[in-house]
Amino acid sequence: MEHVSSSGRSLRPVFVAAACAIGLTAVALTNDYRERSERQASAVAMTRGDPARAPMIFRRYGCTGCHTIPGIEGADGKVGGDLSGLRERVYIAGVLNNSADNLVGWIVTPQTYSPKTAMPATGLSDKEARDLAAYLYAR
């Protein structure tokens, strides 16, 4: 039985268009999920860190007061650099080639790489810094 609107027109094109829109949305969501999963797996492999532990560490050490950090509520600081898209950058803090080991080293003792940096020695362990690096590279 053909469904028709009150004006007598077939509703079949509307149903087909709706089904196509739903299908395209599902494909886009699937691709987005796959890309995020691949980024996270890559970040974990590069850093040997656990990005799930990072939000708590960012808050405990006060990183959120100085930095804007994607996905961390309240992390909208303007003192330090915005950490969004860090994985796509060539340099860390403008002084180090962007690699997992350099990022971990920078997080733990930034003055080693840039003696006049405003970023303080954080007191983070190497493992905590790896967790933060994994989170930032996964974003």
Residue 90 has pLDDT above 70, yes or no: yes
Mean pLDDT of 120-135: 96
Q: What is the pLDDT of residues 15-29, one digit of tens each?
A: 655 555 565 565 555
- In CATH terms, the fold of domain 12-138 is Cytochrome Bc1 Complex; Chain D, domain 2 (1.10.760)
Q: Which amino acid is at 54?
A: A
Residue 8 has pLDDT above 70, yes or no: no
CB atoms within 10 A of CB 103: 25
Per the listing, tokens 């403008």 go with 94
Give the burial class of 116: count Cβ atoms within 10 A of its Cβ; 0-12 exposed, 13-18 middle, 19 or more buried. exposed
Percent of the chain with pLDDT over 70: 78
Residue 7 has pLDDT above 60, yes or no: no
The residue extents of the domains of the chain are: 12-138
